[in-house]
Structures are given as structure tokens and as C-alpha cells.
Amino acid sequence: MATLTVKVPPFGGFNFENSKRNAALEGAVNKVGSSLPAARKTGTTICGIVFKDGVILGADTRATEGMIVADKNCSKIHYISSNIYCCGAGTAADTEMTTRIISSNLELHSLSTGRVPRVATANRMLKQMLFRYQGYIGAALVLGGVDCNGPHIYSIYPHGSTDKLPYVTMGSGSLAAMAVFEDRYKPDMEEEEAKRLVRDAIAAGIFNDLGSGSNIDLCVITKGKVDYIRPHDEANKKGVRTGDYKYKRGATGVLTKVVTPLDLELVDESVHTMDTS
Amino acid sequence: MAAGATMMMESGQRFSTKSDLVPDWARQEVSTGTTIMAVEYDGGVVIGADSRTTTGAYIANRVTDKLTPIHDRIFCCRSGSAADTQAIADMVTYQLGFHSIELDEPPLVETAANLFRASCYRYREELSAGILVAGWDRRKGGQVYCVPIGGMLVRQPLSVGGSGSTYIYGFMDANYKPGMSKDQCMELAATALSLAMERDGSSGGVVRLASISEEGVERRVILGNQLPRFSTH
């Protein structure tokens, strides 16, 4: 009796079927001397701090593809819930999708519990998912928000480890930003001072790290309010050209003028009309 | 889990394309370089750890708390991969909490240690976790169980772990005597951890100590400038 093989429909989540093929392709391509296109990574500087009334998240806005800037103004501060936002560094697609998935699950969870979601819950969901994928999802996140237990900031690494701290930085520019924080952070700062500190930390990343650049986005989360300031500071406005290489007729004096008519024979003429209706 | 995970062991460099924009330390896994230790005394245990978590040569967290509560009177000291140990500790906390409610009494330290061992041994190829389980229960008092990489389980009156532990084996052998009091154990732990932090690059920050007994858990932090100092400087 013939056995039927039932086609199993793919279920949700990530599909790693192509990773073997990609590894083989990479080998073959390297032998010829060229390289595969790189995934778009947000080089990035992101950071978060806890201040007197809540948390402030900051991020730059440059997305790179190898050494080229793919997006000069991308948004790295993602919505998780009305009181929780998350900055993402690492592979752009991974941070975007991971935060969307957790945001969706958190909303369902919040409807089920009937309560405003807590930052610790979002942290648990993110770390358990990233650990499950053993670091293959390249998402390094700074999670921040205000809930019934106060303001919280978490840093979450691609392999699934998390740290709960008063100030964190992530991304290639994190060392520059952390230097600014370690110098000027104080517990219980006022909002304006805290915003200046975050702005300066991201600016340090933008101007000292090649993978970060363009503008500074800020997100201030307090008990009742969220201020999504995009952009907070256009640190790298495109300059206006001061000169022009086009010279007007008459700028250069004419010494001699020789006109030679060329005898050309018309060989073929075909007219194509465009439908401009 | 096996098929995907065996790729993982050498995967570190394989799947990352060369990029000057992503520095080396941003590609490394987060590890608790570490020095951890646990000592039994009559009536309880004293546990201690440093506070440094590294990604390559960058210190990701200089005030880490590696002494993780598993239950009211049971703690674990974590060393190895931060992600692996946090995930295992979360799982064991859940399993032990459930078990304790079923039992309707506080769980045994040996039970907690066995739960750790079960996970660490089953997934020994995929994990990088060295854990010390320590606590107090009514049946056997203060106990220290060592669950190193590979998933062995052994009870010891004194145990050290982590990359910095290699520098203090001699010190521990020379200075530990059975029958010490709680304060003597605390002092021994503080001194031992300071010595290890002095010599091991992956250990540093502050010294976190905790003592667990029938009365409860008492936690202490010794900041960098308050650490004992030695003749080399």
C-alpha cells in the first residue's frame, strides 16, 4: 500500500532552511575572490538612563551596509507598549522583527492580565526568545519603561543575557557613550539635565564611531507621558555648497574660433512616439 | 536541539561577515569571567563573588550580581556564559518553586543542586556554565554543592569556581580550617576574592558576599576602595 506523505505547512517563526546553502555559497564565492552582500547592520550608538521621574532612551540614526550608509535617518527606538520602548543595535531586520513580535505578545498578555505591562515581563520575553535562538538573532537591545514598580532600564545581549542597571549603552559606539555616562551620570537627575546627558552620550558615539552618525533621537518616558522626540538634535545637517564649478559665458576670453562643418550622411531614421496621454 | 547546537560551538566567527564597523568585543558572547566561592560553616553557608561581566576585552557590567536567589534559603553562584547561566537559573527557580509548593515545605539544597545538574548534564555539549549551589535547609544545615562544566555534582565544605579561582586554590588550602565561625568565613571569602580579582583580568569590580542561615539571608557589598590590600602594592 502506498503511503501518502502529507505536506506539512510551515509554521510561524524563523526559517533556517537557507543557512546551509548560504554557507556553501559563501565558500564558493570566496574562492572566486569576491564576497557576499552583507546584511544591513545598524552600526549604532544606543543608550538609556534612569532619571528622577522616569527613563530616557537615546539612539543615533545611521544604518550601514558594510562601509556604506544605507539609511541616513532610520528609527532605532521601537515601540513595545505605551509605557515601554526599546532601542535596537545589531542586525536591523532582527531588532525590528524581534521588537515587533514581543510587542504583539505583550499586548495580548496585557489584555489577558488586565494590567499595564511591566518592563520585567518584556525583558523575560525578549531574553527567552533570544536564548532560544542561541545568538543567531543578532539583536542587542536597550529596553526601558515605567511601570507600577517605577522606572527600569535593561540591556539585552544577542545570546540572551540581560543586565538591569541605572545606565546602559550598546552598539559599536557604546564605548564612547559609556565614557560620557561614567563621567557625568548622577542618580535622580532632573529631566533637562538627563536629556542633555543622553544627547551628549549619543553625540560622542556619532562623532567618534564610524558606524554611528546622522541625527540623535530621544524618547523620554515618565509615569503618564511618553515624549518621542525624533529628531532631538540634527547633529549632521547636510551642508550648503559655497561655490559652483559652472562658469558663465564670457568668463574665459576667446582667442581664436575655427568652424569645420562635418559632412554626414543620413543612413537610417526611425521615430518612436511616447504615449504621453 | 543537538543538530543546530553543534554548529554553534565554532559558530562564533563563521556566520559573522568581516566588518570593520562592528568591533571585536561587540561580536563576542557575554561571559562572567569571574571568581565565585562558597563555604560551609556550622549553621549556614557564606557565598561570595566578584562583579565583572565581559564581552571580549570590554566590561559590559561592572556591578553584576552573580549571587542569584533560587529560593528563600538557597542561592547559586554563576560563572561561565552569562546567557546560559541566567537561563538555567531562571528554569531551576521555576522548577524548585513549583516543587516546593507541591511539597508544602521549603525545598532541600540537594534538590536544587540536582535540578541544576540535570540541566547542565543533559545539555552539556551546548552549555558553558559552572555553578555553585549553596544554602541552608532543616535536614542537613548549611551545604555547598559544586556543579562545574560537564554536569558533575559533588558536595564540598568549600568550593571555588570561575576563571579567577585558579589563583586562590593554594590560598584556600592553606587558610581554610573546618569549624570556622560565620565572621571568619566572611573574612576568608573577602580576602580570597580580593586576591583573585587582583590577579585575574576577567574578575574585578566589587565583592558581593552573602550569608545564608536559618535566620535568613544577609547580603553585603565591599566596594573597590574598601577591599583588603596586599604587599605587592
Residue of A nearest to B53 (CA): A163
Choose the closest CB to B29 out of A35, A159, A211: A159
Asked whether A34 and A164 are in contact (CB, 8 A), the reply is: no
Mutation target to probe the B interface, by most B beta carbons within 10 A, among A159, A172, A178, A206 is A159
A185 touches chain B (CB under 8 A): no
pLDDT at site A252: 86
Q: What's the complex ipTM?
A: 0.84
Confidence label for A258 from pLDDT (cuts 50, 70 and 90)? very high
State in Å, rounded, how far the first CA of chain B is from the last one.
Answer: 50
Active site residue B68: no
B5 touches chain A (CB under 8 A): yes
A127 touches chain B (CB under 8 A): yes
pLDDT digits (tens, 9 = 90+) for A142-174: 999 999 999 999 999 999 999 999 999 999 999
pLDDT digits (tens, 9 = 90+) for B80-97: 999 999 999 999 999 999
Choose the closest CB to B19 out of A66, A160, A171: A66
A175/B58 CB distance under 8 A: yes
pLDDT digits (tens, 9 = 90+) for B24-44: 666 677 776 799 999 999 999
- Cell numbers 576602595: residue: B225
pTM > 0.95: yes or no: no
Using an 8 Å CB-CB cutoff, list chain B residues near A136.
11, 15
pLDDT digits (tens, 9 = 90+) for A106-143: 999 999 999 999 999 999 999 999 999 999 999 999 99
B17/A36 CB distance under 8 A: yes
Show Cβ contacts of residue A141 under 8 Å, excluding neighbours closer than 6 positions: A86, A87, A88, A89, A95, A98, A99, A126, A155, A156, A170
A164 burial via Cβ count (<10 Å: 0-12, 13-18, 19+): middle
B20/A210 CB distance under 8 A: yes
The residue type of B50 is D
